[in-house]
Chains A and B, each alone.
Chain A
Amino acid sequence: MNNHYAIKPLALFVAAVLSGCSSMPERNSMLEQARADYGAAQANAQVVTLAAGELRQASDSLDRANAASNKGENTATVDHLAYIARQQVGIAEETARQKNAELMVANAGAERDRVRLDARTREADAAQRSADRAKRDAEASQRSAQASQLQSEASRRQAESAQRDARASQLQSEASQRSSEAAQMQSEASQRMAMAERQAATDAQVSAAASRQRTLDAEGRARLLEAQLADLAAKKTDRGMVITLGDVLFDTNQSQLRSGGMRNVGKLADFVKQNPGRIVMIEGFTDSVGTDGRNQRLSDERAGAVRTALLSMGVGSERMTSRGYGESFPVAGNDTPAGRQQNRRVEIIVSEDGGVIKPR
């Protein structure tokens, strides 16, 4: 942000000179809003980590708005670019909120285990307390037994039966002390077990945190990427990762993508946005039924529909090319319905980091 403030006086001066008038141009409030919104999003760690790709797009748009303002372009143009930047900041913030909520759902299982473990620890504590109570009771009854024994010795002759009672009660108290000791041992064992489980849970948490850290690291990123692509059933080839959208994902004989196809394209858009170093090539194909012209047109249109879908999800047009190949390059025989269906497809090739795809 410092940068912007440093440039501003210069920009205003340049704008004033360019417009050739003596009064300073008025400040663009939409642009100021966009800068403020972006600053807030950038200061939000959740947005920075969970919506890095979306935040970068917002930053690019804000740069364009700033550049237009510095060049002294008209208010409507600057307003428009600033508006786009503001909405993209909003998109980044909502994306972060969504991802955060999804993480919470994923972590809820671990939280449930923790609650259960807490409950077990409390059970062990309660057992310990009741063992303590039993021990105290036993001690009290032993003391009273001793007292009654002393009493009975003083009046032994008169109360031999009382002595027998006292012995019996001593025996009983000893038995109850033994049982309280056993209870205590048992409670200690269950407490130890709970502690061990808690330790194991902590260890698991630590190792989970460590593995999360690793996935953030450069080498872990590759694995994460592959997992995301595996979700799309991507195949690794020498041209890059290839994702095939089958015929069933399009309306019959038309280029309209069905909702299932849109879902796959959405996943791909997410992936591509998080990996700005990769480019995308979209290739359409048909079976051999029908005229060459019609097949060429359908394959063009289907590849174009995928490109339009990716564009609508915010993937930059400069990173995509699309082309139809008609009935060329079949992947199966055109003599069976199943083979023909396999041939009617759109292949999306995602380059490695570096952005080169070998042409066919």
Chain B
Amino acid sequence: MKTNRSCATLLALGCSLALAAGCASTPAPTEQMAVSKLAIATAVAAGGPEHAAVEMKSAQDKMDRANRAMAKEDYDVARTLAEEAQADARLAEKKAQSDKAQKAAAVMRDDNRVLREELNRKTQ
């Protein structure tokens, strides 16, 4: 167990060194930033602000913070926030689309109910 642990400690040390080295040279996540920005624009166009206000606000807040992190060259933070903003925006977009589809289905259901009642009245 003892040798095991010292091995593991060495490994952990190596890992964190590699990680630290990775952090230092993290490239700017420009593509992720563009992707997230577009996802938000698409969600807004789909009606996200009306149909999924919470997710939409979360996406926009995270995008703002990601932009600030980019300005500070805090690229890991920027990427993390941008990825979450994209996920939030896509959920908002889907919620909006699903809301609209469900409303359309409800209208059709109502139309059929009215038709049924009308025909029932006629045959009674």
Residues of A within 8 A of B (CB): 17-20, 76, 80, 83-84, 87-88, 90-91, 94-95, 97-99, 101-102, 104-105, 108, 111-112, 115-116, 118-119, 122-123, 126, 259, 262, 266, 308-309, 311-314, 317
Contact = CB atoms under 8 A, between A and B. Distances in A.
B contact patch SS: helix
A90 B52 CA distance: 12
Given A115-B119, A119-B120, A312-B35, A83 B94 contact: no
A104 B108 contact: yes
28 contacts: A17-B4, A18-B8, A18-B12, A19-B12, A20-B5, A80-B80, A80-B83, A84-B83, A84-B87, A91-B91, A91-B94, A94-B94, A94-B97, A94-B98, A98-B98, A98-B101, A101-B102, A102-B101, A102-B105, A112-B112, A115-B119, A118-B119, A119-B116, A119-B119, A123-B123, A312-B35, A312-B90, A317-B31
Contact of B38 (A99, A104, A118, A308): A308
Contacts of A94: 91, 94-95, 97-98
A266 B42 CA distance: 10
A327 B52 CA distance: 43
A20 B12 CA distance: 9
Nearest to A61: B87
B53 interface: no
Majority-rule SS of A interface residues: helix
A98 B12 contact: no
Contacts of B34: 308
Contact of A88 (B42, B45, B87, B98): B87
A109 to B, nearest CB: 9
Given A95-B98, A112-B115, 13 more contacts: A18-B8, A84-B83, A84-B87, A88-B87, A97-B98, A98-B102, A108-B109, A108-B111, A115-B119, A118-B119, A311-B31, A311-B35, A314-B90
B39 interface: yes
B105 A101 contact: yes
Contacts of A20: 5, 8-9, 12
Given A94-B97, A108-B109, A111-B112, A259 B91 contact: no
Contact of B88 (A19, A87, A111, A123): A87
A262 B42 contact: yes
